[in-house]
Structure 1
């Protein structure tokens, strides 16, 4: 008995990342005018409840292939690196501090994802992460190493808000996760 690989692939379980990729593709198709809002709502509901690749495939087959987003890579090097202001959050981010620090500020970022994987390497400079109120930060898979983790966010986030999953190592510089401080909140109010 031979098994048709295309049929067995369709029965494979879909991951949250698979569903998110389809959701993002559908939203981009609606923004381009390839599908209307009513069709978007219908397809989004089907995508979010899909259990297998076979259930996901028909939702985008008339829209072209789903292209996975490239991970965002930040390297602190000697002088440090910052990502702040208005930017679109990809599903995967890799931050390597090096001698200089890395700061990731999600406060004004556009994030349509349920979950974002942030692989950190604190090295010598350390990593600072600023998340909006309501976000959930999970650091179960993070190696604290010498620098350790300082998570200054309060408990579970708001339902439906993004989950930031930290992996990697804190290194010597450590990793700090916090909400915007007073100065940053004032700057945000002034920008409105």
Structure 2
């Protein structure tokens, strides 16, 4: 979309086009979650083309930058969905459990921490299905769920004399699986956060530094 005819009314297709570019930019680390949500809301409420153009003026054009994969320059969800589950749950009592690295999360995963801690890291995980439900139950303990920025995440859990943090909830990149985190925290805490892989952080930092030198 260009700056031509800025007063022309925007169509639903044009709004969705801008939304897709914003999702790609968030997945690439060009926008943080707060800025992405602010721009996305503005895109869907825009009345004219002139209101849409500034939302992506400082971003690459569609298709000019691919999402980084854990083992290469492009990221594809195709090879990460539909694999046999390697774990469907974790339980800890006066101790801890951890699921991280390369593993396959089951269609339904249940994590229970009783006076203990649990870690569920999906940044390098594969998925048994395109829709995953992660049920977390913490009693005087805590469970941390870590997801990559490009994953679609919904959070519906609640806490009693404890907390259920939903700051990691939000839309993902096109084609990503849908992960629904639910459950209950009693005198404990459950957190959901978006976090990049270490290698990806270093790559983005190098790109930023290179851009500053060129500028």
* Residues 11-26 of structure 1 aligned to structure 2 (within 5 Å): none
Distance 1:129 1:148 in 2: 14
Distance 1:78 1:91 in 2: 27
How far off its partner does 1:69 sit?
Answer: 6.0
Tell me the equivalent position of 1:107: 123
CA contact under 8 A between 1:71 and 1:91: conserved in structure 2? no
1:163 aligns with 2:211: no
How far off its partner does 1:159 sit?
Answer: 2.6
* RMSD after superposition: 2.6
Tell me the equivalent position of 1:88: 104
CA contact under 8 A between 2:136 and 2:143: conserved in structure 1? yes
Tell me the equivalent position of 1:185: 198
Structure 2 residue corresponding to 1:137, chosen from 153, 158, 167: 153
- The structure-2 alpha-carbon separation of the partners of 1:189 and 1:75, relative to structure 1 and needing over 3 Å to count, comes to farther
**Aligned pairs, number:** 120
Distance 2:116 2:100 in 1: 16
TM-score (norm 1): 0.55
How far off its partner does 1:113 sit?
Answer: 2.4
Distance 1:97 1:78 in 2: 8
- The structure-2 alpha-carbon separation of the partners of 1:154 and 1:120, relative to structure 1 and needing over 3 Å to count, comes to closer
Distance 2:153 2:107 in 1: 15
How far off its partner does 1:152 sit?
Answer: 2.7
CA contact under 8 A between 2:165 and 2:190: conserved in structure 1? yes
List runs of 5+ in structure 2 lacking aligned partners.
Answer: 1-83, 204-215
Is the partner of 1:91 in helix, strand or coil?
strand
| Higher alpha-carbon deviation: 124-133 or 103-112 | 103-112
- The structure-2 alpha-carbon separation of the partners of 1:179 and 1:69, relative to structure 1 and needing over 3 Å to count, comes to closer
Tell me the equivalent position of 2:14: none
CA contact under 8 A between 1:80 and 1:99: conserved in structure 2? no
1:122 aligns with 2:135: no
TM-score (norm 2): 0.49
Q: Which has the higher strand share?
A: 2
Residue by residue, what CA displacement relative to the aligned partner does 1:63-115 show, whole Å, maximum 9, x if unpaired?
xxxxx969612012111111111101210100001111101011111125221
Tell me the equivalent position of 2:162: 147
